Amino acid sequence: MGLVWKKTDGTSGLAGTTVEQQISQVRVWLSEEFGIRVLAFDALTSKVVKGLKRRRKTALGMMHTPEVTYRFKQRFWESQNTTMSRLHQDMDSMRFLMLRRISEMAATQGHNDRYLLDCNVTFEGSIKVWCFWPITKNSRNLSRAIDATCSSFFHRMVRRSEENKKFLALNPQFDEKRLPFFHLSGRPIHRREIEKEVKCVMALAFAQEPAVGHLDPALYRYNTHSDRKGGAIWMLDTIRGSEFYVRYMGDWKSLAFYLYGRVSRKSAALIEHSLSNALNSLFSS
Protein backbone atom coordinates (compact mmCIF):
# COMPACT_ATOMS: atom_id res chain seq x y z
CA MET A 1 0.00 0.00 0.00
CA GLY A 2 1.44 3.36 -1.02
CA LEU A 3 1.05 6.29 1.38
CA VAL A 4 1.69 9.81 0.10
CA TRP A 5 2.44 12.80 2.31
CA LYS A 6 0.93 16.10 1.26
CA LYS A 7 1.87 19.57 2.55
CA THR A 8 -1.15 21.66 3.43
CA ASP A 9 -1.00 25.08 5.13
CA GLY A 10 2.41 24.37 6.59
CA THR A 11 1.44 21.03 8.11
CA SER A 12 2.01 17.50 6.86
CA GLY A 13 -0.94 15.20 6.47
CA LEU A 14 -2.06 12.24 4.46
CA ALA A 15 -4.42 13.17 1.62
CA GLY A 16 -7.15 10.55 1.49
CA THR A 17 -7.90 10.92 -2.23
CA THR A 18 -4.22 10.67 -3.16
CA VAL A 19 -3.74 7.58 -1.00
CA GLU A 20 -6.85 6.06 -2.60
CA GLN A 21 -5.39 6.59 -6.09
CA GLN A 22 -2.04 5.05 -5.08
CA ILE A 23 -3.74 2.04 -3.54
CA SER A 24 -5.81 1.58 -6.70
CA GLN A 25 -2.68 1.61 -8.88
CA VAL A 26 -1.05 -1.07 -6.69
CA ARG A 27 -4.20 -3.22 -6.83
CA VAL A 28 -4.37 -2.95 -10.64
CA TRP A 29 -0.67 -3.78 -10.98
CA LEU A 30 -0.96 -6.86 -8.77
CA SER A 31 -4.05 -7.99 -10.67
CA GLU A 32 -2.59 -7.49 -14.15
CA GLU A 33 0.92 -8.76 -13.46
CA PHE A 34 0.31 -11.56 -10.96
CA GLY A 35 -3.43 -12.29 -11.00
CA ILE A 36 -3.76 -11.27 -7.34
CA ARG A 37 -7.19 -9.83 -6.51
CA VAL A 38 -6.37 -7.77 -3.40
CA LEU A 39 -9.98 -6.85 -2.70
CA ALA A 40 -10.82 -10.52 -2.23
CA PHE A 41 -8.98 -10.55 1.12
CA ASP A 42 -8.23 -6.91 2.01
CA ALA A 43 -10.88 -5.23 4.13
CA LEU A 44 -8.55 -2.68 5.74
CA THR A 45 -7.29 -0.19 3.16
CA SER A 46 -10.76 1.06 2.20
CA LYS A 47 -11.40 1.86 5.85
CA VAL A 48 -8.04 3.65 6.12
CA VAL A 49 -8.91 5.85 3.14
CA LYS A 50 -12.36 6.58 4.53
CA GLY A 51 -10.83 7.56 7.86
CA LEU A 52 -8.30 9.88 6.23
CA LYS A 53 -11.05 11.68 4.32
CA ARG A 54 -13.10 12.13 7.50
CA ARG A 55 -10.03 13.38 9.36
CA ARG A 56 -9.45 16.15 6.82
CA LYS A 57 -13.14 17.15 6.82
CA THR A 58 -12.67 19.04 3.55
CA ALA A 59 -13.66 16.48 0.96
CA LEU A 60 -16.53 17.47 -1.31
CA GLY A 61 -19.04 14.94 -2.56
CA MET A 62 -18.39 13.47 -5.98
CA MET A 63 -20.30 15.30 -8.71
CA HIS A 64 -22.25 13.47 -11.37
CA THR A 65 -22.93 15.24 -14.66
CA PRO A 66 -26.67 15.91 -15.04
CA GLU A 67 -28.07 15.49 -18.55
CA VAL A 68 -28.82 19.23 -18.74
CA THR A 69 -25.13 19.95 -18.08
CA TYR A 70 -24.07 17.41 -20.69
CA ARG A 71 -26.24 19.21 -23.25
CA PHE A 72 -24.83 22.61 -22.21
CA LYS A 73 -21.25 21.38 -22.65
CA GLN A 74 -22.03 19.91 -26.05
CA ARG A 75 -23.65 23.14 -27.27
CA PHE A 76 -20.80 25.25 -25.89
CA TRP A 77 -18.03 23.25 -27.58
CA GLU A 78 -19.98 23.05 -30.82
CA SER A 79 -20.31 26.85 -30.85
CA GLN A 80 -16.53 27.22 -30.33
CA ASN A 81 -15.88 25.10 -33.45
CA THR A 82 -12.13 24.70 -32.91
CA THR A 83 -9.96 21.61 -33.13
CA MET A 84 -9.68 21.48 -29.35
CA SER A 85 -13.38 22.11 -28.69
CA ARG A 86 -14.33 19.29 -31.07
CA LEU A 87 -11.97 16.98 -29.18
CA HIS A 88 -13.60 17.91 -25.89
CA GLN A 89 -17.06 17.45 -27.39
CA ASP A 90 -16.32 13.97 -28.75
CA MET A 91 -14.47 12.69 -25.66
CA ASP A 92 -17.24 14.03 -23.43
CA SER A 93 -19.80 12.05 -25.45
CA MET A 94 -17.72 8.91 -25.16
CA ARG A 95 -17.63 9.27 -21.37
CA PHE A 96 -21.35 10.10 -21.03
CA LEU A 97 -22.93 7.91 -23.73
CA MET A 98 -20.47 5.00 -23.89
CA LEU A 99 -19.60 5.16 -20.17
CA ARG A 100 -15.88 4.99 -20.91
CA ARG A 101 -13.11 5.74 -18.45
CA ILE A 102 -10.79 8.66 -19.10
CA SER A 103 -7.78 6.31 -19.44
CA GLU A 104 -9.54 4.71 -22.43
CA MET A 105 -9.39 7.93 -24.47
CA ALA A 106 -6.64 10.12 -22.99
CA ALA A 107 -3.20 9.96 -21.43
CA THR A 108 -3.24 9.55 -17.66
CA GLN A 109 -0.59 9.20 -15.01
CA GLY A 110 0.52 5.58 -15.02
CA HIS A 111 -1.83 4.43 -17.81
CA ASN A 112 -0.48 5.79 -21.10
CA ASP A 113 -1.00 2.49 -22.91
CA ARG A 114 -4.79 2.25 -22.61
CA TYR A 115 -6.20 5.09 -24.70
CA LEU A 116 -8.13 4.28 -27.85
CA LEU A 117 -6.05 4.02 -31.03
CA ASP A 118 -7.26 5.06 -34.45
CA CYS A 119 -6.49 1.60 -35.85
CA ASN A 120 -8.83 0.07 -33.27
CA VAL A 121 -11.93 1.95 -34.42
CA THR A 122 -13.96 0.21 -37.12
CA PHE A 123 -17.31 0.89 -38.73
CA GLU A 124 -20.02 -1.65 -39.40
CA GLY A 125 -21.28 0.06 -42.54
CA SER A 126 -23.45 3.02 -41.57
CA ILE A 127 -24.95 1.13 -38.62
CA LYS A 128 -22.37 0.96 -35.84
CA VAL A 129 -18.91 2.09 -34.80
CA TRP A 130 -16.88 -0.44 -32.82
CA CYS A 131 -14.11 0.56 -30.43
CA PHE A 132 -11.54 -1.96 -29.24
CA TRP A 133 -9.17 -1.73 -26.26
CA PRO A 134 -6.49 -4.44 -25.80
CA ILE A 135 -6.39 -3.56 -22.10
CA THR A 136 -8.59 -1.55 -19.73
CA LYS A 137 -8.87 -1.28 -15.96
CA ASN A 138 -11.05 -4.39 -15.71
CA SER A 139 -10.68 -6.22 -19.01
CA ARG A 140 -8.52 -7.34 -21.87
CA ASN A 141 -9.63 -7.23 -25.51
CA LEU A 142 -12.71 -5.14 -24.74
CA SER A 143 -15.06 -4.14 -27.59
CA ARG A 144 -17.97 -1.73 -27.26
CA ALA A 145 -20.14 -0.15 -29.95
CA ILE A 146 -22.35 2.86 -30.44
CA ASP A 147 -24.93 2.74 -33.21
CA ALA A 148 -26.31 5.27 -35.65
CA THR A 149 -29.33 6.04 -33.44
CA CYS A 150 -26.90 8.29 -31.52
CA SER A 151 -26.81 10.25 -34.74
CA SER A 152 -24.77 13.29 -33.71
CA PHE A 153 -22.09 11.32 -31.86
CA PHE A 154 -22.01 8.58 -34.51
CA HIS A 155 -21.47 11.09 -37.33
CA ARG A 156 -18.80 12.90 -35.34
CA MET A 157 -16.97 9.58 -34.88
CA VAL A 158 -17.14 9.06 -38.64
CA ARG A 159 -15.81 12.57 -39.24
CA ARG A 160 -12.96 12.05 -36.76
CA SER A 161 -11.97 8.78 -38.41
CA GLU A 162 -11.85 10.48 -41.80
CA GLU A 163 -9.80 13.37 -40.38
CA ASN A 164 -7.32 10.88 -38.91
CA LYS A 165 -6.85 9.24 -42.30
CA LYS A 166 -6.06 12.65 -43.81
CA PHE A 167 -3.66 13.42 -40.94
CA LEU A 168 -1.74 10.19 -41.51
CA ALA A 169 -1.53 10.85 -45.25
CA LEU A 170 -0.07 14.32 -44.60
CA ASN A 171 2.22 13.16 -41.77
CA PRO A 172 3.82 9.85 -42.77
CA GLN A 173 6.28 10.11 -39.84
CA PHE A 174 3.46 9.00 -37.53
CA ASP A 175 2.92 5.26 -37.06
CA GLU A 176 -0.65 4.44 -38.09
CA LYS A 177 -0.67 1.65 -35.49
CA ARG A 178 0.09 4.10 -32.66
CA LEU A 179 -1.97 7.18 -33.57
CA PRO A 180 -4.48 8.02 -30.79
CA PHE A 181 -8.04 8.25 -32.05
CA PHE A 182 -8.41 11.49 -30.07
CA HIS A 183 -5.27 13.51 -30.65
CA LEU A 184 -3.90 17.01 -31.12
CA SER A 185 -1.20 17.06 -33.79
CA GLY A 186 -0.57 13.38 -33.18
CA ARG A 187 -0.29 13.45 -29.40
CA PRO A 188 -2.94 12.23 -26.95
CA ILE A 189 -4.76 14.73 -24.76
CA HIS A 190 -3.87 14.48 -21.08
CA ARG A 191 -6.44 13.99 -18.36
CA ARG A 192 -5.33 17.24 -16.66
CA GLU A 193 -6.19 19.29 -19.75
CA ILE A 194 -9.64 17.71 -19.96
CA GLU A 195 -10.52 18.21 -16.30
CA LYS A 196 -9.40 21.84 -16.37
CA GLU A 197 -11.56 22.63 -19.40
CA VAL A 198 -14.63 20.75 -18.20
CA LYS A 199 -14.52 22.42 -14.77
CA CYS A 200 -14.54 25.83 -16.46
CA VAL A 201 -17.48 24.95 -18.71
CA MET A 202 -19.47 23.44 -15.83
CA ALA A 203 -18.91 26.59 -13.77
CA LEU A 204 -20.10 28.63 -16.75
CA ALA A 205 -23.22 26.46 -17.04
CA PHE A 206 -24.14 27.04 -13.38
CA ALA A 207 -23.43 30.78 -13.65
CA GLN A 208 -25.53 31.26 -16.80
CA GLU A 209 -28.36 28.83 -15.97
CA PRO A 210 -28.50 28.50 -12.17
CA ALA A 211 -32.11 27.32 -12.02
CA VAL A 212 -32.29 24.53 -14.60
CA GLY A 213 -30.55 21.65 -12.81
CA HIS A 214 -26.79 22.26 -13.05
CA LEU A 215 -24.88 21.35 -9.89
CA ASP A 216 -22.90 24.07 -8.11
CA PRO A 217 -19.18 23.28 -8.66
CA ALA A 218 -18.41 24.91 -5.31
CA LEU A 219 -20.38 22.19 -3.52
CA TYR A 220 -19.22 19.12 -5.46
CA ARG A 221 -15.92 17.69 -6.63
CA TYR A 222 -15.71 17.13 -10.38
CA ASN A 223 -13.41 14.67 -12.07
CA THR A 224 -13.69 12.76 -15.33
CA HIS A 225 -15.60 9.95 -13.60
CA SER A 226 -18.40 12.47 -13.08
CA ASP A 227 -19.37 12.19 -16.76
CA ARG A 228 -19.39 8.39 -16.71
CA LYS A 229 -21.42 8.46 -13.52
CA GLY A 230 -23.85 11.01 -14.97
CA GLY A 231 -24.35 8.95 -18.12
CA ALA A 232 -25.12 5.85 -16.05
CA ILE A 233 -27.64 7.74 -13.92
CA TRP A 234 -29.29 9.24 -17.02
CA MET A 235 -29.71 5.78 -18.57
CA LEU A 236 -31.17 4.34 -15.36
CA ASP A 237 -33.55 7.31 -15.16
CA THR A 238 -34.84 7.08 -18.71
CA ILE A 239 -34.48 3.48 -19.96
CA ARG A 240 -36.53 0.81 -18.25
CA GLY A 241 -34.53 -2.27 -17.29
CA SER A 242 -31.22 -0.73 -18.31
CA GLU A 243 -29.20 -1.95 -15.30
CA PHE A 244 -27.58 -4.85 -17.16
CA TYR A 245 -26.88 -2.68 -20.22
CA VAL A 246 -25.27 0.03 -18.09
CA ARG A 247 -23.12 -2.50 -16.31
CA TYR A 248 -22.11 -4.06 -19.64
CA MET A 249 -21.32 -0.76 -21.35
CA GLY A 250 -19.39 0.58 -18.40
CA ASP A 251 -17.51 -2.71 -17.93
CA TRP A 252 -18.23 -2.83 -14.20
CA LYS A 253 -17.20 -6.20 -12.75
CA SER A 254 -18.64 -5.82 -9.27
CA LEU A 255 -21.34 -3.99 -7.38
CA ALA A 256 -19.05 -0.96 -7.39
CA PHE A 257 -21.19 -0.18 -10.45
CA TYR A 258 -23.86 1.14 -8.09
CA LEU A 259 -21.47 3.75 -6.69
CA TYR A 260 -21.58 5.48 -10.09
CA GLY A 261 -24.94 4.45 -11.56
CA ARG A 262 -27.12 4.70 -8.50
CA VAL A 263 -30.79 3.78 -8.59
CA SER A 264 -32.58 7.13 -8.62
CA ARG A 265 -36.18 7.99 -7.87
CA LYS A 266 -36.99 8.08 -11.57
CA SER A 267 -35.49 4.67 -12.28
CA ALA A 268 -37.16 3.22 -9.20
CA ALA A 269 -40.49 4.60 -10.45
CA LEU A 270 -39.97 2.85 -13.79
CA ILE A 271 -39.33 -0.45 -12.03
CA GLU A 272 -42.30 0.02 -9.69
CA HIS A 273 -44.57 0.67 -12.66
CA SER A 274 -43.41 -2.54 -14.34
CA LEU A 275 -43.80 -4.44 -11.05
CA SER A 276 -47.32 -3.09 -10.63
CA ASN A 277 -48.30 -4.28 -14.10
CA ALA A 278 -46.77 -7.70 -13.43
CA LEU A 279 -48.61 -8.07 -10.13
CA ASN A 280 -51.93 -7.00 -11.70
CA SER A 281 -51.42 -9.60 -14.40
CA LEU A 282 -50.50 -12.26 -11.83
CA PHE A 283 -53.52 -11.78 -9.59
CA SER A 284 -56.09 -11.01 -12.27
CA SER A 285 -55.92 -14.49 -13.75
User: What pLDDT digit, counting tens, does each position of 131-160 carry?
Assistant: 999 999 888 999 999 888 888 899 999 999
CB 35 within 8 A of CB 68: no
Q: Where are the alpha helices (DSSP H) in the chain?
A: 16-34, 45-56, 67-80, 83-97, 151-170, 191-208, 225-238, 243-250, 257-260, 265-284
Centre a 10 Å sphere on the Cβ of residue 136 and count the other Cβ atoms it contains. 17
pLDDT at 10: 46
User: With 60 as the cut, is the pLDDT of residue 6 above it?
Assistant: no
User: With 90 as the cut, is the pLDDT of residue 170 above it?
Assistant: yes
CB neighbour class for 171 (10 Å; exposed up to 12, middle 13-18, buried from 19): exposed
Q: Calculate the average pLDDT of the chain.
A: 83
pTM for the predicted model, two decimal places? 0.75
pLDDT at 59: 57
pLDDT at 100: 94
Among the ranges given (15-19, 102-106, 113-117, 187-191), the one the predictor scored with the smallest mean pLDDT: 15-19
Name which residue leads in pLDDT, 68 or 274.
68
CB 72 within 8 A of CB 203: no
CB 4 within 8 A of CB 22: yes
Give residue 126's region: left, alpha or beta (phi > 0; psi -120 to 50).
Answer: alpha
- H or E element that contains 211: none
Q: For a pLDDT cut of 90, what percent of the chain falls above it?
A: 46
Per-residue pLDDT of 69-126, as tens digits, reads 999 999 999 999 999 999 999 999 999 999 999 999 999 877 777 999 999 999 998 8
Per-residue pLDDT of 207-234, as tens digits, reads 999 888 899 888 888 888 899 989 988 8
Give 142's strand partners.
133
